[in-house]
Amino acid sequence: MRGSDLLGAPVVSRSGAALGRVLDVRLVQDGPLLGAFAAMRVEGLVVGHRRTSARLGYDRVEAHGPWLVATVVRWLARDNRYLPWEQASLEGHRVVSGLDELLRVPFIT
Amino acid sequence: MTGRVRDLALHLLDRQVVDTEGKAVGNVDDVELVVPEDGSPPYVVAILTGPQALARRLGGLLGQWLGFWSHALSRPDSSEPGRIPMELVTDIDTQITVARTRQELGVHRNEDRARQYLILRIPGARHARQ
Amino acid sequence: MKGLLKVFLGVLTAIGGFVDIGDLVANAVVGARFGLSLAWVLVAGVVGICLFADMSGRVAAVTGRGTFDLVRERLGPRAGLANLVASTFVTFLTLAAEIGGVALAFELATSVSYLLFVPLVAFLVWFVIWRMPFEKMEQAFGLAGLCLLAFAVALWQLGPDWGELFRQASHPSVPDGEGHPTYWFYAISLFGAAMTPYEVFFFSSGAVEEGWTRKDLKTERLNVYVGFPLGGVLSLAIAATSALVLLPQGIEVDHLDQVALPTVLALGKIGLAVLIVGFVAATFGAALETALSTGYSLAQYLGWQWGKRTAPKDAARFHAVVLVAVVLGAMLVLTTLDPVKVTEYSLVFSAIALPLTYFPILVVANDPEYMAESANGRVVNALATGYLVLLTVVALAAIPLMIATKAGQ
Q: How many B-C residue pairs are in contact by the CB < 8 A criterion?
A: 89
The answer to whether residue B123 neighbours chain C at the CB level (below 8 Å) is: no
Among all residues of chain A, which has the CA nearest to that of B33? A1
Sign of CA dihedral B51, B72, C85, C131: positive
Burial class (CB within 10 angstroms; exposed 0-12, middle 13-18, buried 19+) of A87: middle
Mapped onto helix, strand or coil, the DSSP state of residue B49 is: strand
| C-alpha of C58 from chain center | 20
Per-residue three-class SS string for C145-165: HHHHHHHHHHHHHCCCCHHHH
pLDDT at A70: 87
Please give the Cα distance from C348 to C192 (Å, whole number). Answer: 7
pLDDT in tens, C304-329: 999 998 899 999 999 999 999 999 99
Distance CA B108, CA A20 (A): 37
Measure in Å the smallest separation between the Cα of B95 and chain A Cα atoms: 16
In chain C, what percentage of residues exceed pLDDT 70? 98
Chain A CB contacts of B57 below 8 Å: 4, 7
CB C244 within 8 A of CB C28: no
Q: Which domain holds residue B53?
A: 8-121
Query: Hey, which residues 73-132 in chain C have their CB within 8 Å of chain A?
Result: 74-76, 79
User: What pLDDT sits at residue C177?
Assistant: 82
Note whether B31 contacts C: Cβ–Cβ < 8 A.
no
pLDDT in tens, C136-156: 999 999 999 999 999 999 999
- pLDDT tens readout for residues A14-55: 999 999 999 999 999 998 999 888 999 999 999 999 877 777
Q: In angstroms, rounded to a whole number, what is the distance separating the alpha carbons of residues C204 and C212?
A: 10
In a domain, B44, yes or no: yes
Q: How far is it, in rounded angstroms, from Cα C378 to Cα C310?
A: 38
Rounded to 5 degrees, φ, ψ at B49 are: -140, 150
Nearest CA-CA distance, residue C89 and chain B, Å: 18
A1/B35 Cβ within 8 A: yes
What DSSP designation does C112 have? S
The model's confidence at residue C289, banded by pLDDT at 50, 70 and 90, is very high
Helix axes C180-194, C378-404, angle to 10 degrees: 130
- Of the pLDDT bands very low, low, confident and very high (cuts 50, 70, 90), residue C18 is very high
Is B124–C131 a contact, with Cβ atoms under 8 angstroms apart? yes
pLDDT at B107: 76
Euclidean distance between CA atoms C141 and C145, whole angstroms: 6
Work out the average pLDDT over B111-117.
87
Tally Cβ neighbours within 10 Å of residue C184: 19
Radius of gyration over every alpha carbon of chain A, rounded to an integer in angstroms: 15
- List the single residue in A with minimal CA-CA distance to B13: A3
Residue of B4, B23, B49, B94 to mutate, testing the C interface (most C Cβ within 10 Å of its Cβ): B94
Q: What is the pLDDT of residue B76?
A: 57
**Residue B130 within any structural domain of the chain:** no
E strands along chain B, which residues? 5-7, 16-18, 24-27, 30-34, 43-49, 82-85, 89-92, 95-98
Question: Smallest Cβ distance to C366: which of A52, A55, A66?
Answer: A66
Distance CA C280, CA C106 (A): 7
Nearest CA in chain A to B30: A3
Task: For residue C48, give the nearest of C390, C394, C398 by alpha carbon.
Answer: C390
C343 touches C90 (CB < 8 A)? no
Residues of A in contact with B10 (CB under 8 A): 24, 54-55, 57, 60-61
Give residue-wise pLDDT tens across range C40-73: 999 999 999 999 999 999 999 999 999 999 999 9
The side-by-side arrangement of strands in the sheet containing B24-27 is B24-27, B16-18, B95-98, B89-92
Check if C375 contacts A (Cβ < 8 Å). Answer: yes
- Most confidently modeled of B90-99, C103-112, C116-125, C187-196? C116-125
- Residue B37 Cα, gap to closest chain C Cα (Å): 32
Residues 6+ apart with CB under 8 A from A31: A38, A39, A40, A41, B3, B41, B43, B44
The Cα A17–Cα A97 span in angstroms is 10
pLDDT (mean) for C170-186: 88
C361 interfacial to chain A (CB closer than 8 Å): no
What's residue C227's pLDDT? 95
**Total number of domains constituting chain B:** 1
pLDDT, residue B108, reads 76
Nearest Cα to Cα of residue A44 among A85, A79, A80: A85
pLDDT in tens, B2-29: 789 999 999 999 999 999 888 899 999 9
> pLDDT at residue C242 above 80?
yes
Q: Quick check: is B129 in a domain?
A: no
Instruction: Using pLDDT thresholds of 50, 70 and 90, give the confidence band for residue B75.
Output: low
Q: What pLDDT does residue C19 have?
A: 92
Q: What is the pLDDT of residue C288?
A: 97
Tell me which chain A residue has its CA closest to the CA of residue C79: A52
CA dihedral C244, C226, C318, B97 (to 10 degrees): -160
- Could you tell me if B88 and B99 are in contact, meaning their C-beta atoms sit under 8 angstroms apart? yes
The confidence score (pLDDT) of residue A24 equals 94
For residue A73, the distance in angstroms to the closest alpha carbon of chain C comes to: 11
Which is higher by pLDDT, C246 or B63?
Answer: C246
Query: Considering only CA atoms, which of C117, C160, C148 is closest in space to residue C339?
Result: C117
Lowest mean pLDDT segment, chosen from A103-107, B104-108, C56-60, C322-326 = B104-108
ipTM above 0.95, yes or no: no
- State whether the Cα torsion A39-A54-C370-B27 is positive or negative: positive
Q: What is the residue extent of each domain of chain A?
A: 3-51+80-96
* Contact criterion met (CB below 8 Å) for C304 and B112: no
Average pLDDT over residues A61-73: 82
CB contact (8 A) between residue A60 and residue B10: yes
For residues C288 and C284, what is the distance between their CA atoms, to the nearest angstrom? 6
Check pLDDT > 60 for residue C1.
no
Q: What is the C-alpha to C-alpha distance for residues B52 and B64, in angstroms, rounded to an integer?
A: 10
Q: How confident is the model at residue B78 (pLDDT cuts 50, 70, 90)?
A: low
Mean pLDDT score, B81-95: 91
Yes or no: say if B107 and B49 are a contact pair by the CB < 8 Å rule.
yes
Which DSSP string do the residues of C117-128 spell out, in sequence order? THHHHHHHHHHH
CATH topology of domain C2-404: Amino acid/polyamine transporter I (1.20.1740)
Say if the Cβ atoms of C384 and A56 lie within 8 Å. no
The enclosing H or E element of C260 equals helix C256-302
Task: Name all chains with 3 or more CB-CB pairs below 8 Å to chain C.
Answer: A, B
The answer to whether A26 faces chain B, any CB pair under 8 Å, is yes
Instruction: Say yes or no to pLDDT of C336 above 60.
Output: yes
Mean of per-residue pLDDT scores for chain C: 92
Chain C nearest CA to A82, separation (Å): 21
Tell me: pLDDT of B109 over 70. Answer: yes
| Whole-angstrom distance, CA of residue C108 vs CA of residue C106 | 5
Q: Do C243 and C36 form a contact (C-beta atoms < 8 A)?
A: yes
d(CA C92, CA C343): 10
Q: Residue A57: its pLDDT value, please? A: 76
Kindly tell me the number of DSSP H helices and DSSP E strands found in chain A: 3, 8
Helix (H) or strand (E) holding A28: strand A18-28
Average pLDDT rounded to a whole number, residues C343-372: 83
Q: A92 phi and psi, to 5 degrees?
A: 65, -130
CB atoms within 10 A of CB C3: 9
pLDDT value at position A94?
Answer: 93
pLDDT in tens, C104-134: 999 999 999 999 999 999 999 999 999 999 9
**For chain C, domain boundaries:** 2-404
Q: Which residues in chain A are closer than 8 Å to C363, comparing Cβ atoms?
A: 56, 65, 69
How far the first Cα of chain C sits from its last, in Å, is: 46
- Closest CA of chain C from A7, distance in Å: 12
How far does the CA of residue A40 sit from the closest CA of chain B (Å)? 5
Could you tell me which CATH class the domain A3-51+80-96 is placed in? mainly beta
Which chains have 3+ CB pairs within 8 A of B? A, C
* 8 Å CB contact of A34 and B9: no
Residues of B in contact with C62 (CB under 8 A): none
Give pLDDT, residue B52.
85
- B7 neighbors B44 (Cβ within 8 angstroms): no
